[in-house]
Amino acid sequence: MTADIYLDHGSATPIVAPARDAMVAALDRFGDPLSIHAPGRDARRLLEESRAEIAHAIGGQPDEIVFTSGGTESVALGIAGGVRAVRELGTRIVVSAIEHPSVGGVCAVLESDGFEVALVPADADGRVDVDAFAAEIRRPGTLLASLQHANHELGTIQQMAEVGRLAHEAGVRFHTDACQTAGRLPIAAGELHIDFLSLSAHKFGGPPGVGALFVRRGVSIAAYPCGDDRERKRRSGMENVPGIAAMAAAISTSVSTMADEAARQWSLTSRLRDGIVERVPGAHVYGHATHRMPHLVCFAVDDVDPGTLLMALDERGFRVGAGSLCSGRPEDPSPVLEQIGAVNPHGFRVGVGPSTNEDDVTSLLDTLPNVVADLQQVERASAEALGRFRSPGP
């Protein structure tokens, strides 16, 4: 049985049918959107229609949407572009200590360019202390704060509106990585006091390799790459019109079914969280119990090699993720789990999707305890054999 639980902590979902149809239809719109001939105007029309759809889905305006190649570029453009545009005002950037590796990557580059990055820790559930965040935001020379809407491993949702309000009161720009939440939770960029918001199409049923950055009206941004007049000079390079059309169709589809789908997925992941703790020997479940994404479950299992467990589950049709695919190998400890002081930082993540059902969850909960017990027994036997081999003779 191959379950839709394969979705590797929800990092990607299959391309939904409306998105696939939109992409195929857009393949005939081959004109350059900057061209004034008929094919160019046709492509431009589709581009702007898609821009309006995506803006509507997150409570923005069409001219606030910048198309990119995906979530990582959107994060980099939002953070680096956001601080470089106002560099004369300071050098400080404030981020949480459990952000996605894309945030850490761009911050490392900015540090080498003379910026200072302050990290705010999170508690054991993965929630950032708002008072600690506020204290860092208010320090002189702070240009931008970035806080992930919901963590990519734990699924924990942050107190976005409060942090955004505090940032704006301090005159600090506010960026959020909303790749995990767009299309899954309601987003109203204005109400959250957001200046820059990053999206990735493949997280909500669109194709990989296309994303968007919301840039609030009136907020300046330093473009990169640059060299032409596309995207209102905020991001150069010919737009991926078929991918963008598919992204717009995907987010519209996701938003239209959001409430019912979130409730259904919450029920499934609640069963998984409870069942893993009750039935899997040596298991730990991480992430906030209530302030969490409906589709994610993060857990660890003691005395089991992560790669071996992944392969054992894969052979049985369950495509579970381990570690952050963007930051290391499956057997490496999770930086997020290390930051929150997890007892076992070798985490696994399960993401349920649109076609996951109760039978899939039952199957995983019936399979996982036996697989874990078998692997733990092998680990113990190996350790005992190694101990006998290493012990000195009489």
Active centre residues (catalytic): 326
235 secondary structure, DSSP code: S
Q: Determine if the peptide bond prior to 33 is cis (ω within 30°).
A: no
**Furthest-apart CA atoms within the chain: distance in Å:** 90
298 secondary structure, DSSP code: E
Checking DSSP bridges between strand 173-177 and strand 196-200, what pairing results, if any? parallel
Name the residue among 195, 182, 176, 249 with its Cα closest to residue 64: 195
Q: Write out 54-102 in H/E/C secondary structure.
A: HHHHCCCCHHHEEEECCHHHHHHHHHHHHHHCCHHHCCEEEEECCCCHH
Between CA 68 and CA 24 the distance in angstroms is 20
φ/ψ of 9, rounded to 5, equals: 55, 25
Task: Give residues with Cβ within 8 angstroms of 54, minimum separation 6.
Answer: 65, 199, 212, 247, 248, 251
Query: Residue 298: beta bridge partners?
Result: 286, 349
Residue 29: how many CB atoms within 10 A of its CB?
Answer: 18
By the 8 A CB rule, do 265 and 356 touch? yes
Residue 274: how many CB atoms within 10 A of its CB?
Answer: 12
